[in-house]
Every structure is written in structure tokens, then in C-alpha cells.
């Protein structure tokens, strides 16, 4: 049996989104522009969860076929043991939007992006570990390199793409004398 990011799981995430959005709007008085940026980040997070955590396999036949595989032996705690691969590149690429998008929904700094990127990488790997422990065998590997490359992606997203975007955005606002609106003001104040 496999659990996919669809059906009840997907509907649960959609319901959670609406609850959070309503609380942000009515309790915390967030603007629709803020909620728009939050929505973009929420969709991003849902896609990352789908990519890194699903499907979750729960199959007694597979558990028997793997013969009590030791989940702990399959983990890699040695940084860069296997060098740099396409998987490393994908792990970087996966978290670039985190570093790029987070400043639009919270006050960002290098330190904050560093810790959020580190926490995200650890959270992804912990989810994969818990899934493997529950299933009784590994179908994804828990790897310290993934945490390192996830952190790198978040920092690249913030230090290069976000900073470059802000520079170009501010230049365009001044050069073309763009009239302020809710979105321009929100971006300008990040």
C-alpha cells in the first residue's frame, strides 16, 4: 500500500491553508497582498512535501522482501562522501525558492535564512527517516549531504536571487516611475 499526496492528504493541506489564511486575515489583519505571497510559499511547501515525503509505502510484502533492512545502516553522516551529483544539484535547486520567497512573508536576514534553510533540510531528512522506520525499510536515503545542499539552496536564493531581484525591482520603480500599489509597496517594504 502507498499513501500519495492526493485525496484525503491533499484535501487536509487545502483545509489547513484556508484555516491559516482566515486566521491571518481576520485575527492578524494581514493584507490580501501578504496572503498572496503566503499562498505562493504554501504551494511551494506543499510541492516540496510531495517531492520529499511522498509516496509513503506501507506494504508487508515489501517489508518481508527487504528482510528487516537496517534503516540506520543506510544513513550517511559523512559530509560529501559521494561528492557532488545531480541529486546534490536538485537538493540545492529545491530550496532556492525558500531563500527567494521567505523575505516576502517575514523579515529576513542572513541569519534567519541560514537557520530556516538548515531547519528545512533537517526536517525533510527527519520525515524520510520516520517514514522509513515506520515502513521498516528504506526507499529514500537519509543523507547529511541533503541537509547541506538544502541549506546552500536557501542561501543562494536569498543572497543572490532575492538581493538581485530587489536591486532590479528598485531600479525599475525609480527608472520607470512606477506608481505605488499594494504589490509594489509590499515588495518595496521587504
The pLDDT assigned to 75 comes to 85
**54 C-beta neighbours (distance < 10 Å), count:** 17
Its pTM surpasses 0.75? yes
CA-based nearest residue to 101, from 150, 165, 50:
165
Residue pair 59/73 in contact by the 8 Å Cβ criterion: no
Higher pLDDT, 26 or 63: 26
Measured on CA atoms in the order 39, 159, 86, 139, is the torsion positive or negative? negative
Three-state SS for 96-137 is HHHHHHHHHCCCCCHHHHHHHHHHHHHHHHHHHHHHHHHHCC
Reading the block at residue 67, the C-alpha cell is: 528482510
Q: Show Cβ contacts of residue 190 under 8 Å, excluding neighbours closer than 6 positions.
A: 103, 104, 108, 166
In tens, the pLDDT along 41-91 reads: 999 999 999 999 998 887 777 767 666 566 777 788 999 998 999 999 999
Reading the block at residue 10, the C-alpha cell is: 491533499
Which whole number is the average pLDDT over 6-27?
A: 98
Amino acid at each position: 500500500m502507498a499513501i500519495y499526496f492526493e485525496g484525503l492528504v491533499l484535501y487536509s493541506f487545502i483545509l489547513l491553508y484556508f484555516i491559516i489564511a482566515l486566521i491571518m486575515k481576520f485575527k492578524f489583519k494581514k493584507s490580501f497582498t501578504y496572503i498572496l505571497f503566503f499562498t505562493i510559499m504554501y504551494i511551494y511547501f506543499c510541492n516540496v512535501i510531495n517531492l520529499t515525503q511522498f509516496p509513503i509505502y506501507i506494504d508487508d510484502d515489501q517489508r518481508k522482501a527487504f528482510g528487516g533492512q537496517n534503516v540506520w545502516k543506510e544513513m550517511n553522516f559523512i559530509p560529501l562522501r559521494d561528492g557532488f551529483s545531480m541529486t546534490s544539484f536538485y537538493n540545492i535547486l529545491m530550496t532556492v525558492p525558500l531563500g527567494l520567497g521567505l523575505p516576502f512573508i517575514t523579515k529576513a536576514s542572513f541569519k534567519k535564512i541560514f537557520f530556516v534553510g538548515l531547519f528545512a533540510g533537517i526536517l525533510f531528512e527527519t520525515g524520510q527517516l520516520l517514514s522509513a522506520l515506520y515502513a521498516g525499510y528504506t526507499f529514500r536515503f537519509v543523507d547529511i549531504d541533503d541537509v547541506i545542499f538544502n541549506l546552500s539552496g536557501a542561501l543562494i536564493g536569498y543572497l543572490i536571487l532575492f538581493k538581485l531581484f530587489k536591486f532590479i525591482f528598485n531600479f525599475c520603480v525609480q527608472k520607470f516611475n512606477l506608481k505605488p500599489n499594494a504589490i509594489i509597496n509590499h515588495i518595496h517594504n521587504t
